[in-house]
Amino acid sequence: MKIIRTVRAMQQVCRDARRTATLGLVPTMGALHDGHLSLIRRASGENDVVAASIFVNPLQFGPNEDLEKYPRTFEDDCAQLEREGVAILFAPSPDEMYPQTNGQKPQTMIDPGAIATRLDGAYRPGHFVGVATVVAKLFHIIQPDRAYFGQKDAVQLAVLRQIVRDLDFDLELIACPLVRDKDGLALSSRNRYLSAEDRKTALILSRTLIAMQDDIRKGIRDSHRLCRQPHLLREADESFKLEYLCIVDPNTLLPVSEAVPGALVAIAARVGETRLIDNFLVAEVGP
Ligand code: AMP
């Protein structure tokens, strides 16, 4: 696996690769787990060459968020990517991605507009401007045929679908299924922050979604009714703070009154200091 640290070198290597091969891109912030690896495997199955990126993007962290303490496990990540047959790893420094900004924001940023203020965007102001900007840069540098993102970050997917459309990126955006731990918790690099006690509390997210799935299977479709999950209140103690539980259109992120097939059911909560998200798409076919 080639490990590449500069934009110029990455452009060159990707240009060479694209001459004879299809190129799949899997962008990450590292601290890799099976969720990330599922994207890599899908990309390997669909492209001749897979490029991954590891970049903890300062632009998408708010002033009181976890940029400093975000887990960084570069050696271990490289070993995993190597095992999966990734050919190219792009791992630039913040100064390489945002030169001459002295740690400040760059002048040019991509603002996806209203969609970036919905759901997580409402709780993390500026987050999706940071995501859209770094992803646009990666798309320009690498110019992949296909780019792979996880359904785990359903709100991010909606924002990225919009920027691909609005900015005419010539690539296919591929959404990959959410991968869970054995106990049902959605895999996340941030799960490393959870104490044993927090981890138990964190299961409220997936359990709430399972209860809603059961209700939908029973024929309940009304969004308000579905979102009133009694055990959410019963199980929650002071370490669990719900941010949102809602049913929305997966493309616009606007609320829908009924859990129609394809609708996105999404939840976000803080467990202690850790912010967690989870979701599912209402099945297209009956139970
Ligand atoms: P991150 O490193 O958290 O920025 O994630 C990099 C990519 O992996 C994003 O497209 C995520 O949506 C995806 N991802 C993270 N966790 C999971 C998961 N549990 N299942 C599927 N994809 C995931």
Distance 101 CA to ligand 1 centre (A): 28
Active site (catalytic) residues: 36
Distance 98 CA to ligand 1 centre (A): 23
- Has residue 24 been placed in a domain? yes
CB of 250 shorter than 6 A to ligand 1:
no
Alpha-carbon torsion, ordered 256, 121, 77, 22, to 10 deg: 60
148 and 22 belong to one structural domain = yes
Contact 1, 88 (CB under 8 A): yes
Q: Whose CA is nearest to atom 13 of ligand 1?
A: 150
From first to last of its 287 residues, the chain has per-residue pLDDT tens of 999 999 999 999 999 999 999 999 999 999 999 999 999 999 999 999 999 999 999 999 999 999 999 999 999 999 999 999 999 999 999 999 999 888 788 899 999 999 999 999 999 999 999 999 999 999 999 999 999 999 999 999 999 999 999 999 999 999 999 999 999 999 999 999 999 999 999 999 999 999 999 999 999 999 999 999 876 766 667 899 999 999 999 999 999 999 999 999 999 999 999 999 999 999 986 54
Give the domain range for residue 208. 189-280
How many domains is the chain partitioned into structurally? Answer: 2
171 and 231 belong to one structural domain = no
Q: Whose CA is nearest to atom 22 of ligand 1?
A: 150
CB of 229 shorter than 6 A to ligand 1:
no
> Regarding beta strands 146-150 and 264-271, do their DSSP bridges make them parallel or antiparallel, or are they unpaired?
unpaired
Distance 174 CA to ligand 1 centre (A): 12
Going by C-alpha positions, the residue among 141, 126, 139 that lies closest to residue 166 is 139
What CATH number is given to the structural domain containing 76? 3.40.50.620
What CATH number is given to the structural domain containing 230? 3.30.1300.10
Distance 157 CA to ligand 1 centre (A): 11
Give the SS3 label for residue 207. helix
- Has residue 265 been placed in a domain? yes
Contact 172, 149 (CB under 8 A): no
Crossing angle between the packed helical segments 7-20 and 127-142, to the nearest 10 degrees: 50
CB of 189 shorter than 6 A to ligand 1:
yes
- Has residue 285 been placed in a domain? no
CB of 139 shorter than 6 A to ligand 1:
no
CB of 142 shorter than 6 A to ligand 1:
no
* pTM for the model: 0.97
Going by C-alpha positions, the residue among 165, 171, 160, 25 that lies closest to residue 87 is 25
71 and 148 belong to one structural domain = yes
Going by C-alpha positions, the residue among 182, 166, 183, 164 that lies closest to residue 174 is 164
199 and 107 belong to one structural domain = no
222 and 260 belong to one structural domain = yes
Q: Whose CA is nearest to atom 18 of ligand 1?
A: 35
The CA radius of gyration of the chain, in Å to the nearest whole number, is: 19
* Cα separation, 286 vs 176, whole angstroms: 22
